[in-house]
Amino acid sequence: MEEFTQRQKKIGGILQQDLAKVLQKAATDGGLRGIIISVSKVNVTTDISVAKVYLSIFPNKEAKPLLEGIKSNKPLIRHELAQLTRHQLRRMPQLEFFIDDSLEYIDGIERSLKGEDNPLDNPDLLDKRKKH
């Protein structure tokens, strides 16, 4: 587990808030209705050069194409974010976007615990083991 300094946590929090504003504004301006984009976590490296941004996108079926669109517009998003944080940050870190699928994972565990998805009844539910 990585240890984060107070500075990294503070910058991550600032980026998380402002990035949520930028992405939600871009989604509504782009005509995407009914899609919720939330920034679940931002991890910043110790030298503040890279920020790993974890996005939670609902509905989940829209996540992959939307993530590709966000990655292709990375310079524009970074510029918008730099404008919002210009009084708080000297340098804007490079942004790396990832999908946060933890809610889907938790939902799968809950279904399994309730007995809805029983891997004994349906072995296709289990991930296939990779042979080395």
pLDDT tens per residue across all 132 residues of the chain: 467 789 999 999 999 999 999 988 888 887 777 788 889 999 999 999 999 999 988 877 878 888 898 999 999 999 999 999 888 888 899 999 999 887 777 877 887 777 776 666 666 666 665 555
**Res 16: pLDDT:** 94
CB 23 within 8 A of CB 77: yes
How many other C-beta atoms lie within 10 A of the C-beta of residue 37?
21
pLDDT score, position 119: 62
- Orientation of helix 63-72 relative to helix 74-84, angle to 10°: 70
Report pTM. 0.76
Domains of the chain plus CATH, in order, are 6-117 (3.30.300.20)
Cα separation, 21 vs 84, in Å, equals: 10
